[in-house]
Amino acid sequence: MESFHATTIVSVRRGGRVVIGGDGQVTLGNTIMKANARKLRRLGKGDVLAGFA
């Protein structure tokens, strides 16, 4: 069985503001398993942004 591989979560901080983004695709080898995964989440009371690869 093929193993899962990570993706890239990108964040930029400029002028006291932050933007974070990532793709929504989950693959297993060359097969797309899910095209709309939520890889970005707000944690706590919304004060923390987390990216999951």
Q: Which of 7, 8, 27, 31 is flagged as catalytic?
A: 7
Q: Respond yes or no: is residue 7 known to be catalytic.
A: yes
Number of Cβ within a 10 Å radius of residue 40: 15
7-31: string of b/e by CB count within 10 Å (b at 16+)? bebeeeeeeeeeeeebeeebeeeee
State the catalytic residues.
Answer: 7
